[in-house]
Structure 1
Amino acid sequence: MTVRIVVADDQAMVRAGLRMVVESEPGMEVVGEAGDGMEAVAVARRLLPDVVLMDISMPRMDGLAAARQLLGGPNPPKIIMLTTFDTDENLYAALRAGTSGFLLKVSPPEQLVEAIKVVAAGDSLLDPAVTTRVIASFAGRHEPVRPPRLSELTPRELEVLRRLARGLTNAEIAAELFVGEATVKTHVARVLMKLRLRDRAQAVVFAYESGVVRPGVEAG
């Protein structure tokens, strides 16, 4: 099955380079390009790609705003943010937007190809430990806001969410709660569904920003 990709970057040479890398890999196809955020939204909504490679800094609408529009709409693609600078600010912004991760533009071609494969398969590019560290650092700057939908979680689902916020894997959560991994997987799926979140990274953001866990406090 071919992975369909849209490339969004305001530099034509960068788009050409990304296209060359992607289309040298069997099973991947660039189906469209965009030179700014507004065009990226329009192209992705028209072509319905599996993955969008999205530059953070673009004219008219930046990549993060474009990502939010796409991820908030029907049939959202997986989005990999492309950036020149490896900063926690960029990573946190990408996480809050609900993207599958971000990649430096100077990354080697094989890393780009692997990233596309990972997100196309439904996984996140982000290391759980890094994700938790960054979110804890930035979320702690604001007073938590407890959304009403948090009350939809059962006590056990709340325990699972707290452990997700610590960056634990399903196996680690299962060991702490003395249940099977399959049970944990079911709980995680229900947490994401009830809170209307796309993935574990968004669950970590939600846990900190809602006050379920607090920076510097061990989640129990």
Structure 2
Amino acid sequence: MTATPPITVLVVDDDPFVRRGVTDIFAATDDIAVVGEADDGDRVPDAVRRTTPQVVLMDLKMRRVGGLEATRQLLALPDAPKVIAMTAMDVDDLVVQAVAAGAHSFLSKGEAPETFHQSVRVVAAGNTLFSQESLRRIAAHHPDPAPTVVPSAFANLSERERQVLQELATGASNSEIATRLYLGQTTVKTHLSSVFTKLGTDNRVRAALAAMRAGLVD
């Protein structure tokens, strides 16, 4: 039986101790492998070309080129890897902007190792992992820096699509949404694809934030 290849990760941070610490976090796993590092945002494109990671853990505050700009540049590339923004704070303005730029999830550097493991696994699978409370704080206290969802777009959602979106906004994965709504995962993916098309976004976090700002989620 052929073993499943590990999820490949690139760690980007200008602090060598943080890079070492994050690398050590994944050394304890069998299914995640750190394949490279970058010490600043301007080194990310070359590091990605050399190592072809599936997921990039991106520090948002670096000396020469910040993680926000590096994320924008990276996600403009064809076949770009998934990006998880890292910050010393749970939620700040850079996190909001990183979400707007297309980051697939975000993590506080103070999270437990298990949260790092879970976040990478979930994001690599095409989902995301975030705290509903963190999203609520973003929606309540930070204006959308790049609004793309017009209020009338929600009227185009079917009842089932609205239910799927509401579950998404709790931070649920596709499998969790499927379980809660008694649907197959393929059906959930189909509904989410339709939701993203109707709302004009392909970012799960942005869709969840839009739902919160529209009052679809308590």
Bin the TM-score by the shorter chain. 0.7 to 0.9
Aligned to 2:83: 79
Query: What one-letter code is carried by the residue in structure 1 that aligns with 2:27?
Result: E
* 3-state SS, counterpart of residue 6 of structure 1: strand
1:40 aligns with 2:44: yes
What is the aligned partner in structure 1 of residue 156 from structure 2? 155
Query: Does structure 1 conserve the Cα–Cα contact (< 8 Å) formed by 2:36 and 2:47?
Result: yes
SS, match of residue 80 in structure 1: strand
User: What amino acid maps onto 1:218 in structure 2?
Assistant: G
1:158 shift after superposition: 9.5
Letter of the 1:63 partner, please give it. Answer: G
Once the 2 structures are TM-superposed, how far is the Cα of residue 139 of structure 1 from its aligned partner? Answer: 2.9
What one-letter code is carried by the residue in structure 1 that aligns with 2:71? A
Corresponding residue for residue 215 of structure 2: 218
**Equivalents in 2 of 1:61, 1:137: separation in Å?**
26
Residues 1:51 and 2:82 are matched in the alignment:
no
Pairwise CA RMSD = 3.6
Q: Which residue of 2 aligns with 1:6?
A: 10
The aligned residue for residue 21 of structure 2 is: 17
Displacement after TM superposition at 1:20 (Å): 2.1
Q: 1:171 to 1:57 in 2, by over 3 A?
A: same
Q: Residue 109 of structure 1 corresponds to which residue in structure 2? A: 113
Distance 1:110 1:146, change over 3 A: closer
Shift of residue 160, structure 1, vs aligned partner = 3.6
Which structure's CA Rg is the greater one?
1
Of 35, 51, 76, the residue aligned with 1:31 is 35
Q: What's the CA shift for 1:193?
A: 4.4
Q: Which moved more, 1:30-39 or 1:102-111?
A: 102-111
Give structure 2 stretches of 5+ with no counterpart. Answer: none
Q: Is the 8 A contact 1:162 1:219 kept in 2?
A: no
Is this contact kept in 1: 2:165–2:195, CA < 8 A? Answer: no
Change (3 A) 1:82 1:128: same
Number of matched pairs: 204
Q: How does 1:71-220 map to 2 (within 5 A)?
A: 71-128=75-132, 130-139=134-143, 155-156=156-157, 160=161, 164=165, 167=169, 170=177, 181=183, 185-193=189-197, 197-205=201-209, 207=210, 215=213, 218-219=215-216
* Structure 2 residue identity aligned to 1:74: P
Partners of 2:57 and 2:45 lie apart in 1 by: 12
| Whole-angstrom distance in 1 between the partners of 2:148 and 2:105 | 25
**TM-score of the aligned structures, taking structure 2 as reference length:** 0.73
Cα distance in 2, alignment partners of residues 17 and 203 from structure 1: 32
Contact 1:192-1:198 at 8 Å conserved across structures? yes
Unaligned runs of 5+ in 1: 175-179
The Cα offsets for residues 120-178 of structure 1, whole Å up to 9 and x where unpaired, read as: 222212134542441353236x796667xx88x9823599469737936657996xxxx
Q: Does 1:66 align with 2:70?
A: yes
Displacement after TM superposition at 1:116 (Å):
1.7
Deviations 1:32-82 (A, max 9, x none): 110100101221133220111111111221011111221222112121212
SS at match of 2:208: helix
Letter in 2 for 1:126: F
Instruction: Indicate how the Cα distance of structure 1 residues 127 and 86 shifts in structure 2: closer, same or farther if over 3 A, else same.
Output: closer
Give the drift of 1:13. 2.0
**Match of residue 177 from structure 1:** none
| Aligned CA distance change for structure 1 residues 127 and 145 (closer, same or farther; 3 Å) | closer
